[in-house]
């Protein structure tokens, strides 16, 4: 599977490093794509939104799945002809926990389990940040 990481921030770099280290998939950055077209790729948008229109056009042309990690892009308001997975406010620690559960969840068989995510009550920034 081809995975394309869009963005240059901490989350994008963590994801890129994870997939490269894992070695199970072909992975590249949006900047390193150099015009290549990968039909059915998974495009992970962890950027500021500057490239979002180009990313949407790419996903339409290649029927790739867009995994939207950024908030405030308005992508959910668009009518798009390709799969979109919305994951606003995701962080690398939660992604690592989910990967751990996917890989080792069988070890919890027979136990009652619950995963709860809480938002800091003292957060002062506006929603979507």
Q: What average pLDDT does the structure give for the chain?
A: 87
First to last CA, the chain: 31
**CA nearest to 47, candidates 22, 62, 64, 66:** 66
Sequence spans of domains, the chain: 2-108
Strands (DSSP E) along the chain, which ranges? 2-6, 26-29, 42-45, 65-68, 84-86
50 DSSP β-pair partners: none
Regarding pTM above 0.85, the answer is no
The pLDDT tens digits for 63-120 are 999 999 988 888 989 999 999 999 887 877 777 787 788 888 888 888 887 777 666 6
Tell which CATH classification among 3.90.1480, 3.40.50, 2.40.10, 3.30.310 matches the domain 2-108: 3.40.50
Contact 94, 117 (CB under 8 A): yes
Residue count (the chain): 129
């Amino acid at each position: 599977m081809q995975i394309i990481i869009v963005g240059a921030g901490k989350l994008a770099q963590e994801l890129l490093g994870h997939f490269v280290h894992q070695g199970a998939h072909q992975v590249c950055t949006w900047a390193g794509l150099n015009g290549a077209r990968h039909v059915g790729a998974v495009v992970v948008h962890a950027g500021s939104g500057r490239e979002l229109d180009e990313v949407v056009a790419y996903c339409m042309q290649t029927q790739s799945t867009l995994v939207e990690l950024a908030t405030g892009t308005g992508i959910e308001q668009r009518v798009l002809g390709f799969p979109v997975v919305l994951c606003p406010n995701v962080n690398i620690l939660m992604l690592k926990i989910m990967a751990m559960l996917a890989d080792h969840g069988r070890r919890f068989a027979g136990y009652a389990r619950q995963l709860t995510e809480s938002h800091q009550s003292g957060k002062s920034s506006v929603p979507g940040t």
